[in-house]
Chains A and B, each alone.
Chain A
Amino acid sequence: MSLLRPRVAFLAAFAVALSLVAAKAALATFVSANCNYNAATWSPNMYRDGSVTVALVARYEGYHWGGGCWNDNDVDQGPNEPLQTYSTGGEGGDCSGLTFKVWRESLNTSDGGHYQWGRLRNVHGPYAAADFKAGAGVPNATYPKADAIVMDAFASNTHIGMVYQRLTSGADQIVEAKCEACGTNIFTRTYRSDSSYGGVRRMGWTG
């Protein structure tokens, strides 16, 4: 009996501690468990078709409002999040967060950018869709919609998507982080002719 009680105490304490750690781990979000805050690297290169691949990695990785961190396993590890909730820490960018990374922009709006952000770097950037629409920030400018080409964008007050390819119907393929149910992907859209959208060009491409 005298040996049993300490063992019971040990096992009980062991179980409690293990449960607490497990609970803490279970409460971790995708962002807290996977993402980092590493510095971006500057690159002299910023080709339109070279930057498209950043968006292609983000395909199928989901949508997270206010987010900007994803891996590349083609699974949304933060599905079915409540609309416009950041604290759930799910996987994926939102529309402006995706654009910020693909366009290799800077956290400093007066900096032209050329920054390569890792996909697991949790960063949204300083611009909301409406800021892009207004051409806010040194690298960004409003641009005629009819002349928009690959890696230009169409932005409204609530959304932004980047041009991927024009279509024979006159619509465009757009690469975008669209919504929780839609995820991040290439979709056919008609933003070009929609007057709630304006054209936006990221300046400073090297090709």
Chain B
Amino acid sequence: MRAIRVDPGRLRLVGWGLGGLAAGAAAGICAVFVASAVAAGRSAATDEDAARIVDAGHLPPLLRLPGERVTLRFNVFCPAPGDDPFDGTPCDAGGDVFVRARRSGPFRQLPLRETDDVAHGRYVVDVPADLAASPEGFSYYAVLRNQATGASITVPSGGAAAPQLSLPLEHAVEVELGTHAFGSTRRADARVASAIWGTAPGEVGLLYGPSFGPIGPSAFDVAPNGEVTILDQANGRTERWRAGRVAAAVPVDVTGGIADMAVEADGSIDVLEPTGSGSAATPELRSFDPAGQLLSKTAIEDRTWSQLRRGADGLEVQQEPSEQWMPVRRGQAWLARAAQARAGHPGRTLASGRELVVFRTGVSEARVAEVAAGHVVRSWRITSAPPLGEIQLAEPFGNRVVLVVRPYTETQDEFLVLVLGDRGLERSFSVDSADWAETAPLARFRLAGSSLYQLGSTPSGMHVDRFDLEVNR
């Protein structure tokens, strides 16, 4: 039997090594614990953010028919009072509406009253008859508050400087669409762009999976000469199409989310990104030169946008919750958020300086008015048997107005193109919705010259079709 002899020096070495392992592990665990505690502390500190959450929902009655009772309705979204701000009860909210006849003069302060009607807006105020009856309409803004915390929001955000405007329609031209025959769509006069999904030059990116998307090119624009530019945000580029072929692909620094786009006369590209990067940040308008070099980034005033358009004197964005069009650039000057808010107005500015105000109301009615200096110059009231979805496009077309609306049922939808004249509906035709892949919400149509262009898609790719409006079919 042999005795095992252990070298005391080695034993000491192993002991020191094991001690080092234990000490290192302990130090690491302590460091991670401290870092986690700091992070948790930061997270706990931001729990207080619940107190500052206040947001609003409001559908402004932009265009009213004679005799319609005017009740302004608001929802106020903020945490519940008490120990548990997310226990499912509504917040303790309130506020005031400031209203006046016409667009000038002193406002009358009216307190909101609470109702049980969250469907249309829990907080309401009836506009006094003398103000509602003004032939030049009335203007208003609301200051909505979380009574428990004092947090508040003003809608529209320009407040007294740019109140919302509600105009009477005294002599609207009535257009009754009746029932809609789904399936009787007009064929395009030309397919001016077409690409399969992919990443290679000449292809267009698609975001799609079993439980995701499909999201295709999110916007496009058409120059007066018919040149089409497609925002291929998934591939971080724009593609210019001329005579049915890709003429140029221009890389642009975009986030890849669903964005809107406008191309200016000098070829500059403006991309309106979907969201800001924090509660204090609002969506960003990125402007690029024709070669894709970033020129500027401008935050819009409100948290949400609906559409970006070239206006008579620059770019305008329809923003929410203000539900106003706000200029983001005037001439060569980009506007700060407060300046945008101060210039908000209900309709899109036209080249003539007039505004085109659009109001989809009820389930199946659309109202459109051309407005000059706060007065309705001419207007249309369109009613339909099937429900109407969004108004995709409203554009002047000579002395007429082109409107693209979307009749739908639970299982069908199509776009309906209406050419409105002073006497009513001059022409209409249906267009296949061709909406397999999602785009920006109101970016499926553009009017250029006398042609209407549609951005469409199928499982195999995307396309842009042209419909010539002067052609009778």
Contacts and interface: CB of A to CB of B under 8 A. Distances in A.
A17 B274 contact: no
A18 to B, nearest CB: 4
Given A179-B215, A195-B413, 15 more contacts: A9-B16, A13-B16, A17-B24, A17-B28, A18-B25, A53-B78, A53-B79, A53-B80, A74-B279, A150-B57, A150-B118, A182-B258, A187-B274, A188-B441, A195-B410
A173 B390 contact: no
B57 A164 contact: yes
A129 interface: yes
B119 A168 contact: no
Contacts of B292: none
Contact of A14 (B24, B85, B256): B24
Given A150-B75, A169-B306, A188-B305, A72 B118 contact: no
B89 A47 contact: yes
B118 A207 contact: yes
Nearest to A22: B28
Contacts of A164: 57
A171 interface: yes
5 contacts: A16-B20, A50-B88, A53-B50, A159-B211, A167-B360
Contact of B53 (A57, A158, A169): A57
Interface residues of A, number: 89
A182 B257 contact: yes
Interface string B344-367: 000000000000001110010010
Nearest to B440: A188
A185 B302 CA distance: 13
Interface string B8-46: 010011111111111111011101100110010011001
Contacts of B279: 59-60, 74
Given A183-B275, A195-B413, A190 B441 contact: yes
A73 B258 CA distance: 24
Contacts of B46: 71-74
B76 A49 contact: yes
Contact of B306 (A12, A15, A52, A188): A188
Of A25, A59, A181, the most chain B CB neighbours within 10 A belong to A181
B32 A25 contact: yes
A14 B23 contact: yes
A186 interface: yes
What 9 pairs between A and B have smallest CB-CB spacing?
A193-B389, A21-B28, A17-B24, A13-B20, A170-B360, A165-B57, A14-B24, A6-B16, A10-B20
Given A21-B24, A190-B441, A198-B410, A150 B119 contact: yes
B429 interface: no
Contacts of A166: 59
Given A14-B24, A25-B32, A169-B391, A46 B57 contact: no
A100 interface: no
A203 interface: no
Interface of B: 9, 12-25, 27-29, 31-32, 35-36, 39, 42-43, 46-47, 49-50, 53, 55, 57-60, 62, 75-80, 84-91, 116, 118-120, 122, 207, 209-215, 255-258, 274-280, 303-307, 318, 320-321, 323, 358-360, 363, 366, 387-391, 405-406, 408-413, 433, 435, 441-442
Contacts of A195: 408-413, 433
Contact of B87 (A7, A48, A50, A187): A50
A49 B43 contact: no
Interface string A117-136: 00000000000111000000
Given A50-B87, A57-B50, A60-B277, A20 B28 contact: yes
Interface of A: 2, 5-7, 9-22, 25, 33-34, 43, 45-54, 56-57, 59-60, 65, 71-75, 83-84, 94, 96, 104, 114, 116, 128-130, 144-147, 149-150, 158-159, 164-171, 173, 178-179, 181-183, 185-190, 192-196, 198-199, 206-207
A154 to B, nearest CB: 11
Given A50-B89, A53-B78, A145-B408, A13 B116 contact: no
Nearest to B359: A168
Given A167-B323, A169-B442, A190 B410 contact: no
A171 B212 contact: no
Contacts of B53: 53, 56-57
A195 B62 CA distance: 28
B25 to A, nearest CB: 4
B180 to A, nearest CB: 12
A173 B210 contact: no
A199 B363 CA distance: 14
B59 A165 contact: yes
A190 to B, nearest CB: 5
Nearest to A101: B86
A89 to B, nearest CB: 15
